Structures are given as C-alpha cells and as structure tokens.
C-alpha cells in the first residue's frame, strides 16, 4: 500500500537539521585538532618530558590506542543511547583530558590527559555519521560524508600552520587548556541542541517525508546486533582499507611529517607545518570531491581502488624520487592528502552493506581500522628511527638522518599496499543499501 508524504514545516526542519550538524561538526573539528597537534608541538614535548622518538610516538598514539578500542562501543552507543548523550559525554571527557594534558608536569600525567582526550573524542565521529544517516537522505550520503570530512579537516589544518603561529604567542600548554574549555562548551550545546532523530524533535522520519515505509527498528539485544555486523564479511574490506591508507596517512601527517622536514631538509617548524597543512587541505578537498564523484557515478569500489593505487604510487615517490624542500616536496605532500582521501567512502560502503538500524556499528568497525593503523604506525615509525639513530641531538631533541627516515617510509609503502588489496575485495553497492529491497 503506498504511503503519502507526511505534513511538516520544511523551514523549521532545515533549521533543526543544520543546528544539530553545526554542533556535531564543531566537536568533530576538535577531534581532528587533537589528532594532528602533536606534530607541531613534538619538539616541545620532547624537551618537556625528555623523551625518545619511540616514547613520543607512544604519547601521540595514546589517543589512537583508546580511540581504536572505543570504536565498537561507540557504534553500540550510537545505535542504543543515541548521538545526543554520546556527544555530550564525549565532549565533556575530551575537555577534561585536554586541560589535564596542558597542565601535565610529568610524562605519566601527559599520557593520562592524552588518554582522556582519546576516550572523549572517540565517540564523536560515529555519533555524527549515525546522525547523518537519519537527518540526510541516502542518495546524498557520500556527498554529506565528504562535506563532513572536509569540515573536520579544518581542525587538522588549525592544528598545523595556525597552531605553529599561535605557539609564537602563547605556550603549548595554554593552547591545549583553551581547546579543552571549548570542548566543555560543546558538551553543554550538545545537550541543549542535538536530537537523535527527526521524530524526537516532532518531525516525521525522512522516509515518511518521502512517502515510504519506515526502516525496521532494532529488535534484539545489542550483543546480537554486534555479532551480526561482525559476521558480515562485506564490512571487513573497509576496515583493512582504512587500516592501510588512513592509518598510515594520519600517522605521518599527525606526527612524523614535520620532524622529517626539519631533520632532513632543514626547515623550521613553521615552514614544515606548511607542508602538512597542504596535505590536510588536499585531503579535505579530496574527501569532498570523491564523495561527490562516487554519488554521481553511483559506484564506490572503482573510486576507492583508484584512490588506493594512486596513494601507493605517492608513497613510492616519497621513498624513491629525489624530492626536496620547495615545489617538489609540496607537490608530493599535497598528492599524499589528495590521493589518500578515498577512505571517506568506506563509511558509505559500511552502512550500505548492513541493515540501516545497525549503521552506527557498521561505521564503527571500518573506523576502527583507521585508528588501529595509526596506533601501530606512529610508535613503529619512531622505533625504526631510534634503531638507526647515531646519537645526534640538538637542544635536547633527537635528530634523525635521511637514511633513518628512508627506512621508516617503507612502513608507509607496506600499509598502502594493504589498502590496495582491500579495495579490490570491496562489495559494490551502487550507492544504495543492498539489504533493503
């Protein structure tokens, strides 16, 4: 029997939808800021806590460790208690953690603060993507995912060049206390503005607006639902795609890119930060562009496979081409971000191979791959550097040679190969949920 579109005030719906999106996207920008900021303050952290490359990698990766562990619980929380509570608690914990990190006097306290930041922000993205599944129509989900990653990446950009500039005027500690206070404000706004779905704000569901029957709700215990998602073999290529591509890219841009440019090419922190800013800007543009292209083509797999192949070639160029600071270096760093942006489509793929009620859990599985990859790569990269280190130091900071970085960049290439293999194993959804007839 045909359903008829339900009456509602479209203008009020648009205002509500974009107000919720605005609060969640600001929180997501802070997620990216915390992810990338250690690269810019790496020298200060080494000096403040008298740390090795491996230990610095572990401090930066503490965020990724807890983020990785929390992705499955984040999906469960998004599908059960909803985005509103998830966003409020996440911002609250991240705010406390950032303030603690800024005030830390010991490595242990810094680790604790970084842990709390990772714990808090770990639930934001899955909650946001879950919210997008109920507030935006399916046919533009790839584009909305791209817009979301684009805006989130503004947080990455702020954590590169602008943060390097800010550190010329305030201490790194004041910067982290400030972002912590901002997160506490977002916790309050989440409670006041965010709603889990249109029905909670007095609107019909999106499908009801279009005259369609509603998707089936969750009926069983979340443990059963989680087993269903985990047992869905079509979800897992997205996990490995993110592990190899986004994991390696975030580890490099979020920590080791700036030290490489400083040690090998003699750039200052501010100069080196321009290169990683370029990587992050290119990644932001790429996520929007590939989301739009995929929606227009009605294809996911070929776009992701092309992205993975090109990303692998850029990693090979970083390793083998005779690039230098200047035009060739900037081009490679920009291409790294642009070609590595294909991970944005893994979220659309995940939700399109699972029943709609479990989209949060499906998105969380593929997102786990990204953070597991970065959590392994950051300290591993530092460990490879430490193995070849010849003892050279400057102002209490270890200096590594070009040969040290060359050895570590093999890790980037290996991770990129994993992403390409995973891309070839993806299920093509043609931009629609394949579980719904």
Per-residue 3-state assignment (H helix, E strand, C coil) for 167-233 = CCCCCHHHHHHHHHHHHHHHHHHHHHHCCCCHHHHCCCCHHHHCCCCCCCCCCCCHHHHHHHHHCCC
Cα–Cα distance, 374 to 39 (Å, whole number): 14
Q: Look at residue 353 and tell me if it is in a domain.
A: yes
395: three-class secondary structure by DSSP: coil
pLDDT at site 2: 45
Q: Look at residue 400 and tell me if it is in a domain.
A: yes
Residue 290: name the closest of 227, 232, 241, 228 by CA. Answer: 241
Write the CATH number for 288: 1.20.1250.20
Tell me the angle at which helices 402-423 and 236-251 cross, rounded to the nearest 10 degrees. 160
Cα–Cα distance, 153 to 280 (Å, whole number): 6
pLDDT at site 372: 87
Print burial letters for 357-380: b (CB count within 10 Å at least 16), e (below 16).
ebbbbbbbbbbbbbbbbbbbbbbb
Q: Look at residue 303 and tell me if it is in a domain.
A: yes
Q: Look at residue 437 and tell me if it is in a domain.
A: no
Q: Look at residue 211 and tell me if it is in a domain.
A: no
Residue 362 structural domain: 10-201+221-423
Q: Look at residue 403 and tell me if it is in a domain.
A: yes
pLDDT at site 421: 96
pLDDT at site 1: 42
pLDDT average per 10 residues of sequence, the chain (437 residues): 59 90 93 78 79 77 82 81 92 95 88 91 87 80 80 78 81 89 95 88 72 58 72 85 92 86 85 87 88 86 95 95 89 95 88 77 85 86 85 77 87 95 88 65
pLDDT at site 315: 95
Q: Look at residue 402 and tell me if it is in a domain.
A: yes
What lies within 8 Å, CB to CB, of 156 at 6+ separation is 32, 33, 35, 36, 253, 280, 283, 284
Cα–Cα distance, 229 to 355 (Å, whole number): 9
Q: What global pTM score does this model have?
A: 0.73
Q: Which residues pair with 398 in a beta bridge?
A: 393
Q: Look at residue 383 and tell me if it is in a domain.
A: yes
Q: How many domains does the chain have?
A: 1
């Amino acid at each position: 029997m045909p359903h008829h579109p339900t009456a509602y005030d479209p203008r009020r719906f648009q205002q509500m939808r974009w107000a919720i999106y605005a609060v969640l996207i600001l929180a997501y920008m802070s997620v990216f800021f915390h992810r990338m900021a250690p690269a810019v303050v790496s020298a200060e952290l080494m000096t403040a806590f008298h740390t090795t490359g491996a230990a610095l990698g572990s401090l930066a990766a503490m965020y990724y460790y807890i983020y990785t562990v929390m992705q499955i619980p984040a999906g469960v929380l998004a599908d059960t208690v909803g985005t509103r509570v998830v966003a409020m608690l996440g911002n609250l914990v991240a705010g406390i953690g950032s303030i603690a990190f800024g005030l830390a006097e010991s490595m242990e306290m810094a680790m604790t603060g970084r842990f709390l930041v990772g714990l808090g922000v770990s639930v934001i993205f899955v909650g946001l993507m879950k919210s997008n599944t109920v507030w935006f129509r399916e046919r533009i989900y790839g584009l909305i995912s791209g817009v979301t990653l684009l805006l989130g990446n503004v947080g990455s950009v702020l954590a590169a060049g602008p943060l390097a500039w800010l550190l010329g005027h305030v201490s790194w500690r004041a910067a982290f206390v400030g972002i912590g206070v901002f997160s506490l404000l977002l916790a309050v706004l989440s409670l006041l503005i965010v709603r889990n779905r249109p029905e909670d704000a007095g609107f019909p569901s999106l499908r009801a607006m279009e005259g369609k029957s509603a998707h089936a709700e969750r009926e069983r215990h979340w443990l059963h639902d989680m087993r269903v998602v985990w047992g869905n073999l079509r979800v897992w290529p997205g996990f490995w795609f993110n592990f190899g591509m986004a994991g390696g890219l975030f580890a490099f841009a979020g920590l080791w890119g700036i030290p490489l440019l400083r040690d090998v090419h003699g750039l200052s922190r501010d100069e080196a930060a321009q290169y990683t800013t370029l990587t992050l800007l290119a990644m932001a543009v790429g996520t929007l562009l590939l989301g739009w292209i995929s929606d227009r083509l009605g294809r996911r797999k070929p776009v992701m496979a092309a992205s993975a192949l090109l990303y692998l070639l850029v990693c090979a160029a970083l390793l083998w081409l005779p690039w230098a600071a200047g035009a060739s270096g900037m081009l490679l760093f920009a291409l790294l971000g642009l070609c590595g942006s294909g991970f944005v489509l893994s979220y659309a793929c995940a939700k399109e191979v699972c029943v709609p009620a479990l989209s949060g859990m499906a998105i969380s599985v593929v997102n786990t791959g990204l953070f597991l990859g970065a959590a392994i790569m950051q300290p591993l990269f530092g460990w490879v550097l430490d193995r070849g280190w010849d003892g050279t130091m400057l102002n209490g900071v270890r200096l590594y040679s070009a040969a040290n970085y060359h050895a570590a960049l093999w890790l980037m290439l290996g991770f990129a190969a994993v992403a390409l293999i995973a891309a070839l194993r993806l299920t093509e959804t043609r931009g629609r949920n394949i579980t719904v007839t």
